[in-house]
Amino acid sequence: LLALDLKRPGDGWKELDPLPGPGRILPVASSRGGAFFVFSGASLAPDSNGNPVRTYLHDAWRYDPGQGWSSLAEMPRAAVAAPSPAPAVGTSHVFIVGGDDGTLADFQPKSAHPGFPRDILGYDSVTNTWTRFGNVPETMSPPVTTPVTFWRDRFVIPTGEIRPAVRSPQVLAAIPQPTKASFGALNWTVVATYLAGMIGVGVWFMKREASGSTEAYFRGGQRVPAWVAGLSIFATMLSALTFMGIPARAYQTDVSWYIGQLPILLIVPLVAMFYLPFFRKLDLTSAYEYLEKRFNLPCRIFASLSFTLFHLGRIAIVLYLPALALAAVSDIGVITAIVVIGVLCLIYTVIGGIEAVVWTDAIQAIVLMAGALLCFGLAAARVDGGLAGMAEIAVRDHKLFENLRWDSFDIADGTNAAIVLFVAFFFNSLVPYTSSQDVVQRYVTTRDISAARRSLKVTMWMSIFGSMVFFALGIAVYAFYKTHPQDLDPAMAASDSILPFYIMQQLPVGVSGLVIAAIFAASQSTVSSSLNSVATAFVKDIDSRLLRPGRDDRSYLRAAQAAVIVAGLFGIAIAVTMAESNIESAFKTFNTMIGLTAGSLGGLFALGIFTRRGNGAGALVGAVIGLATVLTLHLTNAPVTGLLYAAIGFVASFAAGWLASLLLPGRGDPTLSVCHSS
């Protein structure tokens, strides 16, 4: 195997590890996901007279840079000289069209040769399985010894040999078409019933005057039960992207990233011991009020605007990407899903306030967990051997923790580096639990600090259990398609669509509607939380503090409701624009950019909580340096995984803020830190 680095061609060709199998001619090559594949081919060996004899090979091999060769599942038949490179289709398949299987190698006379096999072999690089996906139409002749090229959204096979010594001028072209299921009236009825119930919750709290004042609208009169607040935090942190993304991660790789859920066991005691007392003692509504009291007003405004910018983008992406995944496997339109989820969230959030939000979040947490457990049970039941068979497949295919490396500190990738993953997910979770308005706001909806601490315990155990269910669901879906590879859609365009695809293709009508409602629930819980918290940040940090101080409570309540409407319509409009313009990747980049402020925001709060010397001037310097550090890493494509951005921003902001506070004069109230001795 020879390799040439096209970025540095002057270095010349390098010899890599040789193919472990026999030497061969006329193999089929392919590549996808950074790996190189070799399929079939014919080996040559002399017979007793010294004449070369072909052996038609059924083997398949994969080469991963840095890891070497690995053997793959044996092919159903040989495919010598099939069009190459074999096209990569969808998210994980490789198609091999025809090819010589050797069954007619000695056919005579050659002029009457009927041609080469017509079937199309599909290899799935995730489940390591082969499937026959139909045949080349009878009106066409499958060629060999010819290339495949990609042109205008289709794969093209020009000319080629259609039988021994006969070449054809034909040009074949194919466009892979994804499979879509009809959602159906019964499924829509189930979803509509669920959505109507969410509206009913909003109306209920409106009628009981839960939204009659800013105190009720933003803090629910501090009468929310601890278990409801805990479920609400859990649902807020678990978006539809997570609901679909964690099973997809386990399906495609393994469950190694479950280690990222364990830091919550450290974070909850940390928050309960050090952060909650200040949030409750100061009787905060906006989390960023703490920054003004501890440092100065500019710190509060910086934090509030950073939070608002991030969540406006988050609303749009949480509406758009789940809608995109659903549309990829069903006849639910992208815009339909965006508008339905967005408008319904908007209605019950604007009329019911935070109390409606937390109660619907709690209901949605139950619905989405029930949906995940239902999916898991149905998938596991259809695997040969049930749970035991699923576990056997998971162990055999290294889907558990075998790839997790405790001796690796690879920060460039970090995919399997246990310590890097733990640190990254620790800060990714610590930041929202200590500095994000949508989470902190839940702490002050309960009766007292004891109830707030109990709510965090509910969140902690739900996070541990819930993520376990989602990873197990991914393994169950993997085991199902490992044993039923013919049911996969090779043209599936989005990797996160595997769970919606399974739901639509395999679950009974009505049941699939219930589980799709769970995906809607995951989106709604995130969007409604963002809407109410953005309105809270605007009214408390901007409107009543800067724009219109001293107005009556009713005026601020109307401003909050208007802010919910504006933020919701803005998010829906951006999501619809993305759907019509097909700018998913651009918006992902945009969302990454605005999310880079999160780490420095967490560092600001930590500077206030854990140091006496931190002051306003130093805190602002730290926030800017933390943000600039992460932006520089991102814009220069530095070899650092994006998972570590929050950790880097947090540490840079905290360290720079502390050092700057030692050098610069500025306002600071050390009594609002745990280091203050009274």
Q: pLDDT tens digits, residue range 122-157?
A: 999 999 999 999 999 988 999 999 999 999 889 999
Q: Is the pLDDT of residue 676 over 80?
A: no
Q: Is the pLDDT of residue 348 over 90?
A: no
CA–CA gap between residue 559 and residue 572 (Å, rounded):
20
- pLDDT grade, residue 573 (50/70/90)? very high
CB atoms closer than 10 angstroms to residue 8: 8
pLDDT at 406: 87
Is the CB of residue 118 less than 8 Å from the CB of residue 139? Answer: no
The chain-wide mean pLDDT, for the chain, equals: 89
Mean per-residue pLDDT for 359-365?
87
pLDDT at 47: 86
Q: Do domains 2-174 and 224-281+301-402+449-587 have the same CATH topology?
A: no
Q: Is the pLDDT of residue 273 over 70?
A: yes
CA–CA gap between residue 405 and residue 223 (Å, rounded):
46
Mean per-residue pLDDT for 532-549?
94
pLDDT in tens, 455-467: 999 999 999 999 9
pLDDT at 124: 96
pLDDT at 587: 42
* Half-sphere exposure for 484 (CA within 13 Å, toward CB): 19
Q: Is the pLDDT of residue 329 over 80?
A: no
Distant-in-sequence, close-in-space partners of 91: CB < 8 Å, separation ≥ 6:
492, 493, 494, 495
The backbone torsions φ and ψ at residue 278, rounded to the nearest 5 degrees and listed phi first, read: -75, -40
Structure tokens at 464: 């541990």
CA–CA gap between residue 107 and residue 109 (Å, rounded):
6
Mean per-residue pLDDT for 522-533?
86
Could you tell me the residue ranges of all domains in the chain? 2-174, 224-281+301-402+449-587, 596-678
pLDDT at 584: 46
Please state, for a pLDDT cut of 90, what percent of the chain lies above it: 58
Q: Is the pLDDT of residue 551 over 80?
A: yes
Structure tokens at 5: 């680095």
pLDDT at 548: 93
Q: Is the pLDDT of residue 198 over 70?
A: yes
Is the CB of residue 34 less than 8 Å from the CB of residue 54? Answer: no
Mean per-residue pLDDT for 281-305?
93
Q: Is the pLDDT of residue 582 over 60?
A: no
Residue 301: exposed, middle, or buried by beta-carbon count in 10 A (0-12, 13-18, 19+)? middle
Please state, for a pLDDT cut of 70, what percent of the chain lies above it: 96
CB atoms closer than 10 angstroms to residue 14: 10
Mean per-residue pLDDT for 497-525?
85
Query: Rg for the chain (alpha carbons), in Å?
Result: 29
The CATH architecture that domain 224-281+301-402+449-587 belongs to is Up-down Bundle (1.20)
CATH number of 2-174: 2.120.10.80
- pLDDT grade, residue 586 (50/70/90)? very low
pLDDT at 208: 63
Structure tokens at 108: 């005579």
Give the orientation angle of helix 418-435 with respect to helix 597-610, to 10 degrees. 70
Q: Is the pLDDT of residue 240 over 80?
A: no
Q: Output 206 or 576, whichever has higher pLDDT.
A: 576
Q: Is the pLDDT of residue 588 over 50?
A: no
β-partners of residue 315 are none
According to DSSP, residue 262 is labeled T
Q: Is the pLDDT of residue 210 over 60?
A: no
- pLDDT grade, residue 323 (50/70/90)? confident
pLDDT at 677: 52
> What's the CA dihedral at 107, 113, 114, 119 to 10 degrees?
70
pLDDT at 33: 87
